[in-house]
Amino acid sequence: MSKASNSVGRIGSAWGWGWENLQFLRMRLAGLRSKEGELASLVAEIDAYRGLYEGQSERRFDDARIFEVGYGARPLRLIASISLGLDARGIDLDAPMLERSGAELLRILRRNGPLRFVKSSVRALVFDAHERRALIRVLARRGARLRLAPDRFLVGDIATAAIAPGSVDFFYSEDVFEHIPGAALDAVCAGMARALAPGGMAVISPSVYTGICGGHLVEWYPNSFARDGVRRSEPWEHLRRRRFVADCFLNEWRVRDYRALFEAHFDIVSVDNLKPGLGRQFLTPALRTELAAYDEDELLSEKWRFVLRKKA
CA angle 85, 69, 298 (to 5 degrees): 115
Cβ within 8 Å of residue 106, ≥6 positions away: none
In whole angstroms, give the CA distance from residue 230 to residue 228: 7
Task: Please measure the distance between the N-terminal and C-terminal CA atoms of the chain and give it in whole angstroms.
Answer: 25
pLDDT at residue 120 in the model: 66
In whole angstroms, give the CA distance from residue 103 to residue 188: 31
CATH number of 98's domain: 3.40.50.150
pLDDT at residue 285 in the model: 98
Beta-carbon-side half-sphere exposure of residue 69 (alpha carbons within 13 Å): 34
For the chain (312 residues), the mean pLDDT of every run of 10, in chain order, is 45 61 62 80 97 95 98 93 98 84 73 71 72 94 96 92 95 98 96 96 98 94 77 95 91 98 98 97 97 98 98 92
Q: How many domains does the chain have?
A: 1
What letter would DSSP give residue 207?
Answer: B
pTM (2 decimals)? Answer: 0.86
Q: Which residue, among 142, 100, 123, has the nearest Cα to 28 in the 3D structure? A: 123
Q: What is the pLDDT of residues 90-147, one digit of tens each?
A: 999 988 888 766 777 777 777 767 776 777 666 666 677 888 999 999 999 999 999 9
pLDDT at residue 217 in the model: 92
Domain carrying residue 113: 4-310
Strands (E), the chain: 65-69, 87-92, 153-155, 168-174, 196-205, 266-273, 304-310
Q: Which residues of 160-186 are buried (b: 16+ CB within 10 A; e: fewer)?
A: eeebeeeebbbbbbbebbbbbeeebbe
pLDDT at residue 73 in the model: 83
Q: Which residue, among 33, 36, 9, has the nearest Cα to 21 in the 3D structure? A: 9
